[in-house]
């Protein structure tokens, strides 16, 4: 099993949208036994809160229900519990790397880079309008699709099967 943690700033916009897209793609592909996903934020401003209502509406409009997710803050234990910390943007990646405990085993990477979707950040739609969330959705959904497809090709029973971690 590979464990993925999607990280953004407050865990109410980008990371729950990416978690929802990943969960949906993982379930549809029958890979729930191989890939586990969660999300969190680097800040605690929204801990315990549901995703932003605009994120919930956007995901729902694409057939994904994220309403039950609750924001949580990145913890030192996450660096050992997860294999890869997938950061929404370069600023988040820097924060994640700066907090890395000495006994960390998780790799930290940009979500779009790790999903081989080209470099760059997933823009933060929080201060904008609903259109910003619609800009984010295809980025996280395509990343989710690429991650699942990569692991589907490498699923047990596939020739040369193994789960890749980078």
| Domain residue spans of the chain | 2-153
What superfamily in CATH does domain 2-153 come from?
A: Response regulator (3.40.50.2300)
Distance between CA atoms of 104 and 82, rounded to whole angstroms? 10
Residue with tokens 């999300």: 39
This prediction has a pTM of 0.92
Distance between CA atoms of 52 and 16, rounded to whole angstroms? 9
Determine what percent of the chain is predicted with pLDDT higher than 70: 93
| Whether residue 44 lies in the annotated active site | no
Active-site hit among 36, 52, 124, 141: 124
pLDDT-derived band of residue 13, with 50, 70 and 90 as boundaries?
very high
Q: Residue 37: which of 16, 53, 56 has the closest Cα?
A: 16
What's residue 157's pLDDT?
54
Distance between CA atoms of 30 and 75, rounded to whole angstroms? 29
| Whether residue 141 lies in the annotated active site | no
| Whether residue 8 lies in the annotated active site | yes
User: Residue 161 above 80 pLDDT?
Assistant: no
Q: Phi and psi dihedrals of 83, rounded to 5?
A: -85, -40
Q: Phi and psi dihedrals of 61, rounded to 5?
A: -65, -20
């Amino acid at each position: 099993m590979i464990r993925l943690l999607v990280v953004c700033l407050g865990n109410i916009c980008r990371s729950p949208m990416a978690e929802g897209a990943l969960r949906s793609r993982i379930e549809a592909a029958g890979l729930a036994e191989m890939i586990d996903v969660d999300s969190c934020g680097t800040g605690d401003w929204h801990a315990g809160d549901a995703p932003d209502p605009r994120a919930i509406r956007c995901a729902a409009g694409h057939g994904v229900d994220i309403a039950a997710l609750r924001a949580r803050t990145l913890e030192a234990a996450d660096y050992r519990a997860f294999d890869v910390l997938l950061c929404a943007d370069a600023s988040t990646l820097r924060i994640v790397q700066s907090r890395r405990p000495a006994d960390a085993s998780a790799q930290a990477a940009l979500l779009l880079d790790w999903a081989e979707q080209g470099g760059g950040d997933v823009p933060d739609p929080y201060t904008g309008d609903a259109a910003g969330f619609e800009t984010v959705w295809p980025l996280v959904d395509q990343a989710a699709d690429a991650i699942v497809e990569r692991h589907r090709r490498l699923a047990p029973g596939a020739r040369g099967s193994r789960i890749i971690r980078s």
